[in-house]
Chains A and B, each alone.
Chain A
Amino acid sequence: MKPVADVSPTAFEQELLGAVSAVHRFALHLARDPVRAEDLLQETYLRALAHRAQYASGTDCRAWLFTICRNVFLKGEARADREVATDDATLEAVAAAGLHAGLQGTDPLGAVFEQPELAEAVERALTRLPEEYRSVVVMVDLEDQSYAATAHVLGVALGTVRSRLFRARRLLQEDLLAFAQDAGLLERRKDGAR
């Protein structure tokens, strides 16, 4: 038997290895705990190897691993059948405009998001999101997955991805802007509105 170090990985194995960091990031945001994330990552890979015949060559290996990872996570949480109501993505887009309108006099171009002090608040805001929203925003904004790939991984309709994503971004912006105001990075409006 050849030593492990001498064994050349196949294309499938290369894809699995290349996705470790991305799946770990995804697991971290699902589990919100580094130790649980490591368990989740390992279990994901064990299942991927056990079910390698189900992987269609030429498809996105990361998306396939994200699907397994989330299924493992949801099984552990005993909430695989949980589904939030589909919201209206158009209403969310208009709501985002409303949030922005409230910043006309203070930070219309979003300079606050470039403040280094805000970095610590980003992860905290992400972990506060409900799982349904967190999964979507991590898939699209951190892992650069398309709406279609995200819908496939999460097993929801494309419209649900859009509405959850837009809602998640608005919740994150509200959280970050509140942090920025409390930290004195952004002027607080006298009427109390953001």
Chain B
Amino acid sequence: MISCREVIEQLWDYLDGELAPERMEEIAAHLAECARCYPQYRFEFSFLEAFARHREKLPGPPQALVERLRLLIVT
């Protein structure tokens, strides 16, 4: 049975999908039942989601530069 301390120590690895499948399942099961660990999971998840949304808002490269690179690449 995985402890709260182990879950907290591996929470980022879990959120990043960097653990072995069995460990991922253990932590998911723990989070589904633990009132102490779940809020921190939600907190860190919301933080990462903010970055995912931020990525979509970043400006892309100027079209003229993209075209220059395209010409550079295909010629």
Interface residues of A, Cβ cutoff 8 Å to B:
4, 7, 9, 13, 16-17, 20-21, 24-25, 28, 34, 38, 41-42, 45-46, 49, 90, 93-94, 96-97, 100, 103-104, 107-111, 113-114, 118-119, 122-123, 140-142, 146-147, 162, 165-166, 169, 172-173, 176
Contacts and interface: CB of A to CB of B under 8 A. Distances in A.
Contacts of B22: none
Contacts of B73: 9, 13, 16-17, 45, 49
B43 A166 contact: no
B20 interface: no
B54 A122 contact: yes
Contact of B46 (A9, A28, A114, A141): A114
Contacts of B18: 146-147
Contacts, number: 117
**Interface SS majority for chain A:** helix
**Interface SS majority for chain B:** helix
B68 to A, nearest CB: 7
Interface string B1-31: 0000000111111001010000000000000
